[in-house]
Amino acid sequence: MHSPTGERVVLDDVGQAVLFDNDVVRVWDVALPPGETHPWHLHHNPYVVLSISGSEARMDWLDGSEPRFLNEYRGGSVYRPLSPVHRLTNIGQRFYQNRLVELKDLGENRPEPHDIGAGDRSVEGQRPGPATADGRLPVIAHPHVSVWTVEVGADEARKLDLSDRPHVLAELARDGAAAYHPGGPLTLTGPGEWFVVELTY
């Protein structure tokens, strides 16, 4: 690709390391110390951002559009549509890290990507509904994806009453794992905190 000024641009991956990949989802790690930039990239799938460590960030667009400023927080989430080529810079003082979940059935598995509209974004201190009976705290409730966090204490096992739809689980930890669950009840053992993402679509 080329920038509006004619400079040749080589696009990078949407994340830095793939943590999980199957026919339905691809989960990436994105980690940026203060001042670092994730290079120009293009999303081919709608995606969910699960924030592990938040910081102020700046999104610049290759076409020269006005930058977008973000301030993600630990435990927050964003559901995003495809967007023009962009890069992300950590302009804050804290380490920035997320798990980026690509939804292949809404993107690369279709002849044309699904138009998800504006997507959704959590708001710190606000929840889109009550906690579930099994202890999950809602983060995003969208017709395509639902996101919760759940904490499990030391020496505790918590049974989650999940729907029969597929789910992605991601630990809220810097070196945490990501996994795919086909649906139905699931038991988590502590200690730890997890994102639970239901593929509601």
Per-domain residue ranges of the chain: 17-121, 137-199
- Confidence class of residue 1 from pLDDT cuts 50, 70 and 90? low
- The 10s digit of each residue's pLDDT in 123-172 is 999 999 999 999 999 999 999 999 999 999 999 999 999 999 999 999 99
pLDDT score for 5: 62
- The 10s digit of each residue's pLDDT in 58-73 is 999 998 899 999 999 9
CA–CA distance, 128 with 116 (Å, rounded to integer): 19
pLDDT score for 4: 57
Between 64 and 177, name the one with better pLDDT: 177
**How much is the pTM?**
0.94
pLDDT score for 52: 98
pLDDT score for 7: 72
- Using the 8-state DSSP alphabet, how is residue 59 labeled? E
Rounded percentage of the chain residues whose pLDDT exceeds 90: 93
57-87: burial string, b at 16+ Cβ within 10 Å, e else: beebebeeeeeeebebeebbbbbbbbeebbb
Topology, domain 17-121: Jelly Rolls (2.60.120)
Segment 4-29 shows an average pLDDT of 90
pLDDT score for 3: 56
